[in-house]
Structure 1
Amino acid sequence: MKNYNHLTNNKIKFLDEKELIQNNIYQWKEELYMIYTMSSGTLLNHEVGLADEQMCKDTLEGVNKNIKELIIKLDNFKEYIYLSNINKEKEC
């Protein structure tokens, strides 16, 4: 019974980690889609002659903001993985 509980707990942890990873991937893709949308919109406006210097500046500032947010999310996830590995080593 003890072994069964251990396996069940491991399965629950695995499913929790799987859900966490899926949520993080969704957040990362969301930031990338924002960057893609901003840059492709500005590129299109440039190609048809509607982009001005302010639009390009605003787009670059938005892209930088989204990249910064993505870096923070990736760093947080990296820290979570690091701490999870430390906790797993302590359990062994």
Structure 2
Amino acid sequence: MEGLKLIKSTEIGLTWKEVKELLNTYTDEQLESKAILHRIDNEECKIDGLVIDEFYETEEDFINPSGECIEPISLYEDDNSNEEIVLKKGTPILYIS
């Protein structure tokens, strides 16, 4: 992309550890700028610049029994011990506008 220097790339997504290691190389001045996500939608031919509004942490494990969305395990009274944990308790989550 013109005007941007690629620092790190992965096809499977960066881990929080990788993001932390990258951010630790920046100055305080750089870190005081807004956290911006750049999203390209090739189907809609649209580019969005999104800011991070909120930072959350999961309070419990999340599962996906329906296959349609992730939900806190506490929403289910049944034994879900064989359900795959999609997000572990304590996982950081960013919300964007």
TM > 0.5: no
Larger radius of gyration: 1
From the two aligned structures, give the one with the greater helix fraction: 1
Which of the five TM-score ranges fits, normalised by the shorter chain? under 0.3
From the two aligned structures, give the one with the greater strand fraction: 2
- Highest RCO, 1 vs 2 (Cα 8 Å, sep ≥ 6): 1
- Give TM-score, length-normalised by structure 1: 0.22
- Give TM-score, length-normalised by structure 2: 0.22
